[in-house]
Amino acid sequence: AQSVTQLGSHVSVSEGALVLLRCNYSSSVPPYLFWYVQYPNQGLQLLLKYTTGATLVKGINGFEAEFKKSETSFHLTKPSAHMSDAAEYFCAVSLYSSASKIIFGSGTRLSIRP
């Protein structure tokens, strides 16, 4: 069975500081891995995804994530936080062989301090 654990339900950083949102996954087969962002009262927007190949994945809005198989992790980072980054972030996993459904983590709310 697949699962996702996001460490920290709430992360607060200062504007301009490094953003690090942690995600660990469990999967018995090679996974697809995703990060989605959700702004208040809106649906989910894909930030980035890992399928195969290069383990460092670059996404939109300056975010990137690194797939580390040995650590079963897929942490999301951004070098310099912006006020507009304040939102809920979800890490997710689906089966490599079939993207029929996505299993989401419980989310991390990112707050940005001026």
Partner 1 sequence: DTGVSQDPRHKITKRGQNVTFRCDPISEHNRLYWYRQTLGQGPEFLTYFQNEAQLEKSRLLSDRFSAERPKGSFSTLEIQRTEQGDSAMYLCASSLEASGSETQYFGPGTRLLVL
The size of the interface with partner 1 (CB under 8 A), counted in residues, is 23
Residue 31 touching partner 1 (CB under 8 A): no
Residue 103 touching partner 1 (CB under 8 A): yes
Residues 7-26 that bind partner 1 (CB under 8 A): 9
Residue 106 touching partner 1 (CB under 8 A): yes
Contacts 24+ apart (CB under 8 A), 61-64: 61/85, 63/19, 63/35
Residue 77 touching partner 1 (CB under 8 A): no
CB atoms within 10 A of CB 112: 19
Instruction: Extract the runs of DSSP E, i.e. beta strands, from 10-107.
Output: 10-14, 19-26, 31-38, 44-50, 56-58, 64-68, 73-78, 87-95, 103-104
Residue 92 touching partner 1 (CB under 8 A): yes
Q: Least distance from C-beta 113 to partner 1, angstroms? A: 22
Q: Least distance from C-beta 3 to partner 1, angstroms? A: 11
Q: Distance (Å, rounded) from C-alpha 28 to C-alpha 16? A: 38
Residue 99 touching partner 1 (CB under 8 A): yes
Question: Any alpha helices (H) in 1-114, and if so which ranges?
Answer: none
Which residues are at the interface with partner 1 (CB under 8 A)?
4, 9, 32, 36, 41-46, 49, 51, 90, 92, 99-107
